[in-house]
Structure 1
Amino acid sequence: MFLLALVLFIALLTFVLYYPLSLALGSVVVVAGLFALTFVSPWMWLLLLPAAAAVVVLNLTDVRRKLLSDPAYHFLQKAMPPMSVTEREAMEAGTTWWEKDLFSGRPDWKKFVDIELPQLSEKEQSFLDNEVDELCSLIDEWQIFEDQDLSPAAWEYLKKKGFFGLIIPEEFGGRDFSPYAQSRIMSKIASRSVTAAVTAMVPNSLGPGELLMKYGTEEQKNRWLPGLADGSEIPCFGLTGPEAGSDAGSIPDIGVVCKGEFEGQEVVGIRLTFSKRWITLAPVATVVGLAFKLHDPEGLLGDSDKSDYGITCALLPADYPGIEIGRRHNPGSPFMNGPIKGEDVFVPAEWIIGGPAMAGKGWRMLIECLGAGRGVSLPALSTASGEMSYLTVGAYSRIRRQFNMEVGKFEGVQEATAEVAANGYTLEAFRQLVTRGLDGGAPSVMTAMAKYHATEMMRTSVNHAMDVVSGRAIQLGPRNFTAFAYRALPVAITVEGANILTRSLMIFGQGAMRCHPYLFDEVQTLQAEDEDKAKEAFDKLFMRHLGHVFSNITRLKLFSFTCARFSPTPVNADDFSKVWYQRINHMSAAFAVAADVALGVLGGDLKRRELLSARLGDVHSQLFIACSILKFHGAHPRTAEEDAHAEYALKQAFHKAQTSLQAFYANFPSKFLGWAFKFATFLWGSPYKAPNDSDIRKLGGLIMEDTSVRKMLAGYVYMNHNPEDAVGRVESTYQLLNDLGDVWHTFSRAQAKGELEGDTLDERLDDAVAKGVIEQADVEPLKTYDARRYDCLLTDNFDKL
């Protein structure tokens, strides 16, 4: 009977922790349940008495604080490193969204069901179909490469049609488009020219426009926004420099508040000394946004007790005396990029964005405005490259033959092309969920995920494209449809925070503070000046935090034992997606537990354990990516082709998350805890397998077919059928092959087997007709295709280089 009573008690405790009840209610349920179980077995008194004592300690506030929360407060206060003003501003900046649910270990699927993927408005769709298409027709990437600049016609069209004012409100002459529309526009341009896309991206991401809209004075908005909207003003933003790249908070540029002469009058102003590098659009800019550290030694801004204000942002005309815009950098892609310098440049204090009242608030402003670059622009460029790799590599691997077979049918090639196919699908799904999240704010953790993982998927897909297309992709020239995306990779990987630091420091580092339900508030209490009030607040937070931890541990054990088969899923989940949602429940609980264990054991030292932090960030990110795939898949009618793409992509995401979590356990400083939680998480071994050979063959075959997925992805980029265009040559040839059906395959097979006689194509075609291999009506289409096929394989050559 004791074993039965013990099993019933474990079930009761599991219920209490799985559905986290309030401390008082949970205590009553546990004690009452144990008391009832003493009638089943008197031995349960051995559990009831210590449980009752624990309940008393936990529910009497003074006793609890003395024995538990106050000691924890003092221990953590010593263990946690002080948070700098810059770190605090970074942590407080931005918002949170679905990534917070995943961090909690308990995703709210009712909330997820209510998330609708973004749609273009009528105006946005019209702009995409007309102005963007027209711009793409004006662009020749090879000519841009030779000229090292956009054509005058393209520059004029970008300005005239409002491409630099997509985010600016209509009242100032802008387009006021949604994040999704901006992403779709930039993707379509990027599918034609990375250089043109980068040129259009910068004014619509981290630039003066967004800063002015959110923080500028009315005078500043009226002065600058109309010109930024109509292209008469070209903006750039000076943030990074020789000693401040990803660590933009370390900028050495200085502004000292002083009095000086401006337009014939003495005014309070700022004397600036700065040296900026890698500033996109700087060589052609007419207005410069500038970030610097502001000092006010004389208290001229009104606060005599404050001299160091910290990072501040100001807006200056590019031709202002003392500003020196240097010669161009060469970032590999020929977009405008260069240095900006200035020494003892005096400007009025009113030129601070937002006026003097915003002095010292530049870092938070910048962090909150990074969302556009991280969440819209760079993922848009990555999505375009991923989709173009899907379309061109899929077509080329079917057109190109080696050893009498399409190269795309070799399993070694399919290993690459299957990943290209999965990445193309994933990038579009990821883009749509991220831009939906940006509608309500700027989730800093989500946009860091988007920047890192989208650009890394781009890198993988483009590298695979180079491998598959091979020598045809290496030789530069107007026929090359892959090389320019390859040359742009370092830019995407490096800007808006280098990928290495984004992964190892930002995603989990910020995620722990911004997405954990209690951690940030706890840290704030640890640094509060009023210790009595801080301890009182900490006690409540700490008890909720403990309940959160034990609840997630319970859920994790239950999900691991049952493979999460009975865990909740969205009400609209179909037979394909239900199991994947349950796997997210399992991995979300595992991630939440791992995060709390890491924070509890390592404390502030976790910030320096970048490898552990990066792995936890990978788990968090892959869960978000999996959610985006399921949301995107569920938005379309079910087809076998789309199921294959989604399943492959989901297997990739879960295998990556599992691998990262296992590596986290294996390298955790406490080997026992690492082993214990690995066992608790993966009770039956490693459940999430990478795509197998059958999956690879299936998707490697589908990328060569004109499926519904291919047609869908083609709708997001700029495609043409001009046989003289780099992409159009491949696409039009591929469509000719599709029109032939099985005829080309039948003829090629007979030719390879030596069944046809003749030294020329014409002779072999005539023999094929005579032997009934093909029909007479097939001869001319086969001749046309063969000529186009051969032309498709040729690379450019030049008289001189």
Structure 2
Amino acid sequence: MLLLSVVLIIVLIGVLIYRQVPLPAASAILAISWLILGLFSPCLLSLWLVIPLAAILLVLNVPSLRVPFLSRPVFGLLAKTMPSMSVTEREAIEAGTTWWEKDLFSGRPDWDEFARIGLPRLTEAEQSFIDNEVSEFCALLDEWEIHNSKDLSPEAWQYLKDKGFFGLIIPKEFGGHDFSPYAQSRVMSKIASRSITAAVTAMVPNSLGPGELLMKYGTEEQKQRWLPGLAKGTEIPCFGLTGPEAGSDAGAIPDVGIVCHGLHEGKQVLGLRLTFNKRWITLAPVATVVGLAFKLQDPDGLLGNPDKVEYGITCALLPANHPGVEIGKRHNPGSPFMNGPVMGTDVFIPVDWIIGGTAMAGKGWRMLIECLGAGRGISLPALATASGEVSYRLVGAYSRIRRQFNMEIGKFEGVQDATAEIAGGAYTLEAMRHLVTRGLETGAPSVMTAMAKYHATEIMRRLVNHSMDIVGGRAIQMGPRNFLAFPYQSIPVAITVEGANILTRSLMIFGQGAIRCHPYLFEEMQAMQNPDKEAGVQRFDGLFIRHLGHVFSNLVRTIVTGFTRGRLGGAVPSNADRFSTRWYQRINLLSASLAVTSDFALAILGGNLKRRELLSARLGDVLSQLFIACSILKYHASHIRSHAEDVHAEYALNLALFKAQEALIDFYHNFPVRPVACVLHFLTFPFGRILKKPSDHLIREVGDLIMEDNPVRQNLGQYVYVTQDPEDAAGRVESTYQLLLALGPVWHTFIKAQRSGKLQGDTLAEQLQDAASKNIIQQSDIARLQEYDARRFDCLLTDAFEKL
């Protein structure tokens, strides 16, 4: 009976912790249950057990006991290990919002809330703009001509301005389109599917730039002065943030603005004397208005606070032709979009040109962090998504058109290993686009957009590299026939801008995400840095006790889900079906393990975890891949079920969660405190890994599907510019592929007969006539097959030039 009583108490404690029952109620339930069980097992009522139990419950429940015996010692220990938080770090953490990524980090995702999330849809006006203006603009573009002239055509530039492409985010009251994040992404990806250069040109005014900063922070006078011109395209903006000494570490900018009096338009006014040296500024060579980020100093207290000299990063807006502003010669970033330096020495501007006026002096870093979300969450993922979807369509078509060793190259398993990843990656990118832009409708989730930027561009890198490998020399030789060279050249741009990918993965996703998404950590850090230590301890006490409950609840949750391989220990969305239920269960397990692993890592390593980038990046990978898996499940559920849809989603989900699992295991293998790592590893995967890489059978299925005109290919086609023009780089492949599809089995039947030696004749025409005479094909098929063969051969050719 004693053994049974002990087991019942352990189970009760586990249930109370798992359910996160409030401490007073849980203590009362435990005490009463202990007494009841003691009636049947008197040993439980022994003073040797009752007194320690009572002491523990008293310390946990009575603040006057808990603070000196528990909270204060922990407070002192953690205060030594946690790093101090600079002003810029605090602003970066506080900037923006959180969304579904916070649920995943909590270890207990609210799947009912997830089920209520609806994916974004276009309004009638947005759909019309994409179908008409964007399609018309794409028809004006020739990337080979852009490459040779190193610029868009005058007609393309004028069309961008006339149709308001630079004002997609600007409210209608100022003449803009006021499009949703999803619509902006759709516009940019369709342009990018035609021309990377044109897409980058259109992206910049609609992402990090004066327009967004003015809308969110500008004074009414500044909005009226600049937004109508930006919307109409009569003003072309650029924003100077990075420079020789400050790239990804934008907080290190050396550019300075000194508050002083000076002459402006013949009058003595309060203003700033700016000295700046900016590099890699997109649209700078053609800009009419320049946004600048600099460090503001007020040595004479002219802004009204004599005790404050260093204000920090500030943003201002000034005309490009303002005296002293120098736009340098163009950079060459590979893709020929406009990019160059902006410089100035002792440039005087009125203080009113600070974006938001003097009230926003020194608040530029927070402004920039919040506004980076558009570039990270919309523009760059849109470019990556377009590259993935173009690769899906064209490489899938090419792998069926191109034959080697008497077989379509897409049938070789080695090629299918690559084409399957192209197909799964394109599906993943579109799924991410839907969920991320839906999240941006709720605010500016900085962690989510960092994940989107990093993983979208990394997926793009892999898919385009696979595409180059498959298409081979046809993709290497430059010329108007090449449909892959320019997406390939654009990879470094996507990887490095808006924060280099290494930095984003190593420092931002988990470094910012752990603090931003954790329910207690940020407030605890604030309490530890409170100048009033006693007040800090009191604040920390309430947070810490709830934090303990959070940790132990996730620990129990990990044990339950780990030993049942996710089948127990967590709910799934109410609308989950047979396909999705098992995937949600795996997410529950990995989410719980991520939460408890993160808490143990933070408790043991403290501030050192920030410097252990290899470890923290792996935890960031887990969070990212869980978010990606959720986006795939949500996207899959939004479509009519088909075999092709299920196979693509299964491959993408398998790959995402396998990566999350491996990142977690790699973390355990490298965590310096081995006993803790071993225990956590065992509790999460007591029976070994829960996922393997996509199977060979699944790879073959996806590899076959990418060559077919399947529902996924048709669906992804609506997001890109599709042309049947046989003289166009992409249209040549697409139109030839459509000819092949129209032939049905006839081409395959003829090739099979040709390969088996059944046909007589030295030329294709003779073999076709012989096949018709033997009723292998119909006489009416000969002309169609000859046309396809000519187009097929033309599809394989590369360009040649008299002179280079």
- TM-score bracket, normalised by the shorter chain, equals over 0.9
Q: 2:789 maps to which residue?
A: 786
- Displacement of 1:10 after TM fit? 2.0
Matched, 1:387 2:397: no
Q: Which segment drifts farther, 370-379 or 79-88?
A: 79-88
1:320 alignment partner, one of 319, 322, 335: 322
2:741 alignment partner AA: N
- Displacement of 1:79 after TM fit? 1.6
Q: How do 1:601-616 and structure 2 match up within 5 A?
A: 601-616=604-619
Cα distance in structure 1, aligned partners of 2:64 and 2:615: 37
CA contact (8 A) 1:34 1:48 kept: no
CA contact (8 A) 1:375 1:447 kept: yes
1:345 alignment partner, one of 332, 342, 347: 347
Q: Which segment drifts farther, 371-380 or 78-87?
A: 78-87
Q: How do 1:423-434 and structure 2 match up within 5 A?
A: 423-434=425-436
Cα distance in structure 2, aligned partners of 1:144 and 1:719: 19
Q: 2:662 maps to which residue?
A: 659
Matched, 1:496 2:490: no
1:800 alignment partner AA: K
CA contact (8 A) 1:246 1:501 kept: yes
Equivalenced residues, count: 801
Q: 1:775 maps to which residue?
A: 778
Root-mean-square deviation (CA), in Å?
Answer: 0.8
- Displacement of 1:34 after TM fit? 2.0
Q: 2:581 maps to which residue?
A: 578
Q: 1:151 maps to which residue?
A: 153
Cα distance in structure 1, aligned partners of 2:581 and 2:233: 49
CA, structure 1 residues 737+533, in 2 after alignment: closer, same or farther (shift >3 Å)?
Answer: same
1:98 alignment partner AA: W
2:526 alignment partner, one of 524, 527, 533: 524
Cα distance in structure 1, aligned partners of 2:7 and 2:432: 44
Cα distance in structure 2, aligned partners of 1:757 and 1:326: 68
Cα distance in structure 2, aligned partners of 1:320 and 1:43: 87
- Displacement of 1:44 after TM fit? 3.3
Secondary structure (helix, strand or coil) at the match of 1:796 reads coil
- Displacement of 1:564 after TM fit? 1.9
2:593 alignment partner, one of 568, 590, 598: 590
Which consecutive residues of structure 2, in runs of 5 or more, have no partner in the other structure? none
Q: 1:372 maps to which residue?
A: 374
Secondary structure (helix, strand or coil) at the match of 1:479 reads coil
Cα distance in structure 2, aligned partners of 1:81 and 1:180: 38
Deviations 1:244-278 (A, max 9, x none): 00000000001111111111111111011110000
Cα distance in structure 1, aligned partners of 2:710 and 2:37: 62
1:119 alignment partner, one of 111, 118, 121: 121
Matched, 1:712 2:696: no
Q: 1:649 maps to which residue?
A: 652
Secondary structure (helix, strand or coil) at the match of 1:338 reads strand
CA contact (8 A) 1:90 1:364 kept: yes
- Displacement of 1:52 after TM fit? 2.5
1:717 alignment partner AA: V
Deviations 1:382-422 (A, max 9, x none): 00000111011100000000000000000000000000000
Q: Identity percentage over the alignment?
A: 68
Cα distance in structure 2, aligned partners of 1:37 and 1:557: 26
Deviations 1:478-529 (A, max 9, x none): 0111110000000000000000000000000110111000000101111112
Deviations 1:650-681 (A, max 9, x none): 00011100110001111101011111100111
Cα distance in structure 1, aligned partners of 2:523 and 2:632: 33
Q: How do 1:3-14 and structure 2 match up within 5 A?
A: 3-14=3-14
1:234 alignment partner AA: I
Cα distance in structure 2, aligned partners of 1:511 and 1:232: 40
- Displacement of 1:571 after TM fit? 0.4
Q: How do 1:418-497 and structure 2 match up within 5 A?
A: 418-497=420-499
Q: TM-score, normalised by structure 1?
A: 0.99
Cα distance in structure 2, aligned partners of 1:128 and 1:49: 73
Q: Which segment drifts farther, 643-652 or 77-86?
A: 77-86
- Displacement of 1:105 after TM fit? 0.2
2:249 alignment partner, one of 242, 247, 250: 247
- Displacement of 1:81 after TM fit? 1.6
Q: 2:203 maps to which residue?
A: 201
2:709 alignment partner AA: D
Matched, 1:38 2:38: yes
Cα distance in structure 1, aligned partners of 2:728 and 2:767: 31
Q: 1:98 maps to which residue?
A: 100
1:760 alignment partner, one of 758, 763, 772: 763
CA contact (8 A) 1:34 1:47 kept: no
- Displacement of 1:728 after TM fit? 0.6
Q: How do 1:224-263 and structure 2 match up within 5 A?
A: 224-263=226-265
Matched, 1:741 2:744: yes
Q: 1:401 maps to which residue?
A: 403
Cα distance in structure 2, aligned partners of 1:390 and 1:542: 50
Cα distance in structure 2, aligned partners of 1:44 and 1:473: 77
CA contact (8 A) 1:729 1:792 kept: yes
Secondary structure (helix, strand or coil) at the match of 2:39 reads coil
Q: How do 1:510-549 and structure 2 match up within 5 A?
A: 510-549=512-551
CA, structure 1 residues 26+750, in 2 after alignment: closer, same or farther (shift >3 Å)?
Answer: same
Cα distance in structure 2, aligned partners of 1:614 and 1:606: 10
- Displacement of 1:49 after TM fit? 4.3
Q: 1:76 maps to which residue?
A: 78
Matched, 1:675 2:678: yes
Q: 1:628 maps to which residue?
A: 631
CA contact (8 A) 1:31 1:48 kept: no
Deviations 1:130-182 (A, max 9, x none): 00000000000000000000000000000000000000000000000000000
Which consecutive residues of structure 1, in runs of 5 or more, have no partner in the other structure? none
Secondary structure (helix, strand or coil) at the match of 1:776 reads coil
Q: How do 1:286-325 and structure 2 match up within 5 A?
A: 286-325=288-327
1:751 alignment partner AA: Q
CA, structure 1 residues 756+668, in 2 after alignment: closer, same or farther (shift >3 Å)?
Answer: same
Deviations 1:574-593 (A, max 9, x none): 00001111111110000001
1:211 alignment partner AA: L
Matched, 1:213 2:215: yes
1:14 alignment partner AA: G
Cα distance in structure 2, aligned partners of 1:659 and 1:711: 33
CA contact (8 A) 1:35 1:48 kept: no
- Displacement of 1:750 after TM fit? 1.0
- Displacement of 1:770 after TM fit? 1.3
Cα distance in structure 1, aligned partners of 2:371 and 2:528: 29
- Displacement of 1:53 after TM fit? 2.1
Q: Which segment drifts farther, 126-135 or 74-83?
A: 74-83
2:776 alignment partner AA: V
1:509 alignment partner, one of 488, 511, 514: 511
Secondary structure (helix, strand or coil) at the match of 1:316 reads strand
2:230 alignment partner AA: L
Q: 1:176 maps to which residue?
A: 178
- Displacement of 1:535 after TM fit? 1.3
- Displacement of 1:47 after TM fit? 5.0
Secondary structure (helix, strand or coil) at the match of 1:551 reads helix
Secondary structure (helix, strand or coil) at the match of 2:780 reads helix
Matched, 1:415 2:417: yes
CA contact (8 A) 1:400 1:793 kept: yes
Q: 1:267 maps to which residue?
A: 269
1:596 alignment partner AA: D
- Displacement of 1:692 after TM fit? 1.1
Cα distance in structure 2, aligned partners of 1:51 and 1:127: 69
CA contact (8 A) 1:163 1:200 kept: yes
Cα distance in structure 2, aligned partners of 1:314 and 1:250: 17
1:186 alignment partner, one of 171, 185, 188: 188
- Displacement of 1:777 after TM fit? 1.6
